[in-house]
A and B are shown apart, each in its own frame.
Chain A
Amino acid sequence: MAIEVRIILITLIFLIAPAFLLIYVYIYNKRKKRHIEEKEHLKTTFQKELLKTQIEVQEQTLNNISREIHDNITQVLSFVKLNLGMIEEADAATKNKITESRELVAQTINDLRNLSKSMSFEHIAQLGLVKTLEIEMARISNSGLINANLVITGEPYALGEERELVLFRIFQEALNNTLKHSGAKHLKITLQYSELLFNLTLEDDGAGFSAPDNESTVGSGLKNMQSRAALIGASAEISSSPGTGCCITVTLNPFKQQAYIDDTPSDRSR
């Protein structure tokens, strides 16, 4: 073989080494990508499962408290009210006090029943989101803490028990934030039912807050709302600035099914 050909062959062989190296790097990198994606998927699934479990435990606890209030405390209070009504021998001033006390006990029983209903999953599932929100709004308005107003646009349709429960809990979280931090005088809740989209909007005229720069600075309450929304395939947007109040919008595609929705919640009916 001529030396020139030999040299060219050796050069080619020499160049094959880095070519193989490049192929190896490329294949390894592809595998790494797949591995990272799998890891990310597992992480997301784990976080979703964790959140789902947390919510289920929370729901169960709330359900137990609700039952305890309904079956025990309100019963005791009813008994107290009856006992007070059975007192016959008393002067006018004492009778007045007894009547006032009976009214107060009756009001407390009523408040506790409402509270029990707002905590109970069964109650929300039974009445549906719209009715539950109406009752809740009436309760808030009667309390005098804030002037609450519910607006419903479109023809309401059922979103599924789980979704309605999660939306109701988001509403409760937002309401809690408004009452605790905003100092708002008015709260407007809008339920928008359209063919392909459902919107729950909560607007207040409170102090507002600066928009968070990044995800890590979002408060735990707000983050919680977003996580809950993500669990049912919805998105929660929070917009606010100092002095202009706060607006929370939860958007949901009612026809997009999420794994969580299909699951039957464990021990809900106990």
Chain B
Amino acid sequence: MNEYITPYTVIEVICFITAVICLNKDKEPGWRALILLLFITCFVEIGTIPMINMFNKHSIAVNSNAWVYNILLLLQMGVFTLMFDNILGRFISTRLVTIISVIVFTLLYLYELFYINKEGIFEYNSITNSFISVLFIIHCLYYYYLILREDTYINLKFSAEFWWVTGTLLFYYGNIVCNVFYNVLKQPQYNKAVHYSYIINTLILILYGCWIYSFICRKWLSKFE
């Protein structure tokens, strides 16, 4: 039972519950879609724990949980695109950038799945993951640029968009480093489990911490923005 209660799963469940309370009546589809994303993320994180145990016993590709995360990657791309479309759409027209991003993502996803991965869907699409990390970081940085350029003042302390973007930026920034060093850390001579989980757990806490505050701002504090 204890293996199901990790910092990871606890903060995710808290974030999901906050999202349900704060966003269920939100007017924007992007924000509402976050409830679905968080529900599926919680479901995947908790549901794949037995798969990890199975993989640890028999380390063969079909026992890996990578295929679940490959499917989750599609949902992540969809929901984040909706969110950035909504957030950046307040300042500029994002249609062209969104279309190009989705096309590149789809092509890269399929190419990696069928031509790069030796195990196909049973191997994680890490290149696509890195690509969306870079893509989301660029979106986040562009959002900061736009709020600095904007003539009107936004009270960042109570801005739901700002906190959502900040969580996303910090997580994906760290995620890139993890992806870069993943191959080093997974070598048996290093205590990969310890170091990798420290970094990832910290990033997850930052991400969901910012998101929880963002949802609270969205529901109750946006009027002070």
Query: Chain B contacts of A11 at CB under 8 A?
Result: 174, 177-178, 181, 199
A82 to chain B, nearest CB (A): 69
Contact mask B167-203 → A, CB, 8 Å, 1/0? 0011001101110010011000011000100110000
**Is the beta-carbon distance between A14 and B177 smaller than 8 angstroms?**
yes
Name the segment of B100-108, B146-154, B215-223 touching the other chain.
B146-154
Closest CB of chain A to B97's CB: distance in Å?
21
Q: Assess the B174–A7 pair: CB atoms within 8 A.
A: no
**Complex Cα spacing A7 to B199, Å:** 10
Q: For chain B, which range describes its interface: under 10, 10 to 19, 20 to 34, or 35 or more residues?
A: 20 to 34
Cβ distance A236 to chain B, nearest Cβ, rounded Å: 28
The chain A residue sitting closest to B166, CB to CB, is: A22
On chain B, the residues within 8 Å of A15 by CB distance are 170, 173-174, 177
User: Cα distance A75–B144 when bound, in Å?
Assistant: 74
B184 near A14 (CB under 8 angstroms)?
no
* The residue from A10, A14, A36 contacting B153, defined by CB atoms under 8 A apart: A36
CA distance in complex: A21, B155 (Å): 17
Task: Say whether B156 faces chain A, with CB atoms less than 8 Å apart.
Answer: yes
Instruction: Report yes or no: B177 in contact with A25, Cβ–Cβ below 8 A.
Output: no
What range describes how many residues of A lie at the interface? 20 to 34
Contacts of B181 in A (CB 8 A): 7, 10-11
Interface residues of B in 127-163 (CB under 8 A from A): 141, 144, 147-148, 151-156
A157 in contact (CB, < 8 A): no
- Within the assembled complex, what's the spacing in Å between the Cα atoms of A26 and B153? 11
Q: In A1-53, which residues have CB < 8 Å from any B CB?
A: 3-4, 7-8, 10-11, 14-15, 17-19, 21-22, 25-26, 28-29, 32-33, 36
Closest chain B residue, CB of each to CB of A5:
B195
Closest Cβ of chain B to A11, distance in Å, is 5
Cβ-closest chain B residue relative to A25: B144
Is B191 touching A25 in the complex (CB atoms < 8 A)? no
Using known A-B contacts A8-B195, A29-B156, determine if residue A18 contacts B169 with beta carbons closer than 8 Å.
yes
Interface of B, helix, strand, loop or mixed by DSSP = helix
Nearest B residue to A34 via CB reads B153
A29 CB contact (under 8 Å) in B148, B166, B191:
B148
Give bound CA distance, A32 to B144, whole Å: 14
Q: A7-B184, A8-B198 are in contact. Are A17 and B173 (CB under 8 A)?
A: yes
Residues of A within 8 A of B195 (CB): 4, 7-8
CA of A130 to CA of B190 in the docked complex: distance in angstroms? Answer: 93
Given the complex, which residues of A lie within 8 Å of B199, measured CB to CB?
8, 11
- Which residue of B has the minimal Cβ distance to A28? B148
On whether the beta carbons of B198 and A21 are closer than 8 Å, the reply is: no
Cα A10 to Cα B49 in complex, Å, equals 30
CA distance A8 to B200 in the complex (A): 11
* Complex: A8 Cα to B169 Cα, angstroms: 19
Knowing A4-B191, A28-B148 are in contact, say whether A18-B173 is a contact too (CB < 8 A): yes
Q: Given the known A-B contacts A11-B174, A15-B170, A33-B153, are A25 and B147 also in contact in the complex, defined by CB atoms under 8 Å?
A: yes
26 residue pairs bridging A and B, Cβ less than 8 Å apart: A3-B190, A4-B195, A7-B181, A7-B185, A7-B195, A8-B198, A8-B199, A11-B174, A11-B177, A11-B181, A14-B173, A14-B177, A15-B170, A15-B174, A15-B177, A18-B169, A19-B170, A21-B144, A22-B166, A25-B148, A29-B147, A29-B153, A29-B156, A32-B153, A33-B153, A36-B153
Residues of chain B whose beta carbon lies under 8 Å from any beta carbon of chain A:
141, 144, 147-148, 151-156, 166, 169-170, 173-174, 176-178, 181, 184-185, 190-191, 195, 198-199
Given contacts A7-B185, A18-B170, 10 further A-B contacts (CB under 8 A): A4-B191, A11-B178, A17-B173, A18-B169, A25-B156, A29-B153, A29-B154, A32-B153, A36-B152, A36-B153
Nearest 8 A-B pairs (CB), nearest first?
A: A11-B177, A33-B153, A14-B177, A4-B195, A7-B181, A36-B153, A18-B173, A25-B144
